[in-house]
């Protein structure tokens, strides 16, 4: 049983219900139209990616789903609950059911790695300092960081280590749903590959649903069960990566059939063939 003093443990909602429902969402900032009638659903257990070019509204949509922004029109449901309730004082139980890794990691520069990871536990639970310390140590180990990194500040960590630290913070409450905003952007390809493998391992181990925003085609091929491609304010295509390579939409075709798209697909095919 979950109570105010314990971290959230993943639960099972009614089978068949989507974890996220985005229904006819429109977003405008002044005269700028970011989304125009966007709808999609995310089902429990999948890795769902939101892709698209720069300025397509990927990160804006993620922020709307987690309640940091309110769309101009439309409805977003998270675990069957209107996401606007996240702004209310009684939205705290809903906050405890998901974790967010923001673009670049967004670690607090004045806190050590361990203090950063502990933030959600201190904010949402009444656990003792000793228990928080043990949970934080476990999560640091789970993301493959050495324990002596716990006392280091973000400026003392490499880019890859900062992403892993941010991931540890995002999973410290054992969320049912994990949001990732450009998790591998700017990383060396080998480090990005390692991060992708870590995500797959943690998903198998902890059983959460993943929603990620990314433009990394290698990551999309490697991780995503389904992808929604945004462009021109709407969903241009949605399905598996293989489905989307056969799309008739010119923007989607350009996205997946350009030089980077072809290279990522060939690399994925080679990896699958090697595993077989």
Parallel/antiparallel/unpaired status of strands 47-52 and 81-82: unpaired
Say if residue 274's pLDDT is above 50: no
Query: Would you say residue 16 lies in a domain?
Result: no
Query: Would you say residue 131 lies in a domain?
Result: yes
- For residue 271, name the pLDDT band (cuts at 50, 70, 90): low
The tokens of 131 are what?
A: 């228990």
Helices (H) and strands (E) in the chain, counts: 10, 10
Give this prediction's pTM.
0.86
Of 5-9, 90-94, 224-228, 234-238, where does mean pLDDT reach its minimum? 5-9
User: Looking at residue 28, what is its pLDDT?
Assistant: 95
Query: Would you say residue 129 lies in a domain?
Result: yes
- For residue 1, name the pLDDT band (cuts at 50, 70, 90): very low
Which tens digit of pLDDT belongs to each residue from 7-61? 333 344 455 568 999 999 999 999 999 999 999 999 999 999 999 988 899 999 9
Segment 219-224 shows an average pLDDT of 93
CA distances to 2, 21, 28, 63 from 24, in Å: 34, 10, 13, 16
Q: Beta partners for 178? A: 99, 210
More confident site: 209 or 125: 209
What's the CA gap between 218 and 276, in Å, rounded? 19
Which tens digit of pLDDT belongs to each residue from 101-116? 998 778 999 999 999 9
Could you tell me the residue range of the domain that residue 142 belongs to? Answer: 98-174
Query: Would you say residue 188 lies in a domain?
Result: no
Query: Would you say residue 11 lies in a domain?
Result: no
Which tens digit of pLDDT belongs to each residue from 57-99? 999 999 999 989 999 999 999 999 888 887 765 556 788 899 9
Query: Would you say residue 106 lies in a domain?
Result: yes
Query: Would you say residue 204 lies in a domain?
Result: no
Which tens digit of pLDDT belongs to each residue from 145-181? 999 999 999 999 999 999 999 999 999 999 999 999 9
245 and 217 Cβ atoms separated by less than 8 Å: no
Domain count, the chain: 1
User: Looking at residue 231, what is its pLDDT?
Assistant: 93
Parallel/antiparallel/unpaired status of strands 226-231 and 47-52: parallel
DSSP calls for 202-226: HHHHH--EEEEE---HHHHHHH-SE
What's the CA gap between 140 and 155, in Å, rounded? 17
Query: Would you say residue 152 lies in a domain?
Result: yes
**C-alpha closest to that of 34 among 67, 73, 66, 68:** 73
User: Looking at residue 142, what is its pLDDT?
Assistant: 96
User: Looking at residue 215, what is its pLDDT?
Assistant: 86
Q: What is the dihedral of CA 80, 11, 98, 109, to 10 degrees?
A: 170
Segment 251-268 shows an average pLDDT of 65
What's the CA gap between 224 and 8, in Å, rounded? 25
């Amino acid at each position: 049983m979950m109570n105010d003093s314990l971290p959230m443990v993943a639960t099972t909602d009614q089978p068949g219900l989507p974890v996220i429902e985005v229904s006819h969402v429109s977003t405008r900032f002044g005269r700028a139209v970011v989304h125009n009638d966007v709808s999609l659903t995310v089902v429990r257990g999948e890795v769902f990616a939101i892709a698209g070019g720069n300025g397509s509204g990927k990160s804006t949509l993620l922020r709307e789903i987690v309640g940091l922004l309110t769309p101009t029109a439309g409805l977003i449901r998270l675990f069957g609950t209107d996401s606007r309730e996240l702004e209310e004082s009684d939205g705290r139980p809903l906050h405890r059911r998901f974790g967010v890794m923001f673009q670049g990691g967004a670690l607090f520069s004045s806190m050590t790695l361990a203090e950063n990871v502990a933030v959600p536990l201190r904010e949402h639970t009444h656990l003792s300092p000793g228990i928080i310390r043990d949970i934080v140590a476990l999560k640091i180990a789970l993301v493959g960081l050495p324990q002596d990194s716990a006392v280091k500040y973000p400026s003392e960590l490499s880019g890859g280590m900062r992403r892993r630290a941010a991931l540890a913070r995002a999973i410290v409450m054992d969320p049912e749903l994990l949001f990732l905003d450009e998790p591998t952007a700017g990383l060396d390809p080998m480090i990005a590959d390692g991060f992708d493998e870590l995500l797959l391992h943690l998903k198998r181990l902890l059983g959460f649903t993943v929603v990620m925003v990314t433009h990394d085609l290698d990551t999309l091929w490697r991780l995503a069960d389904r992808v929604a491609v945004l462009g021109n304010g709407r969903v241009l295509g949605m399905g598996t990566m293989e489905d989307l390579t056969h799309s008739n939409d010119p923007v989607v075709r350009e996205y997946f059939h350009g030089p980077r798209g072809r290279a990522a697909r060939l690399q994925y095919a080679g990896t699958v063939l090697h595993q077989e």
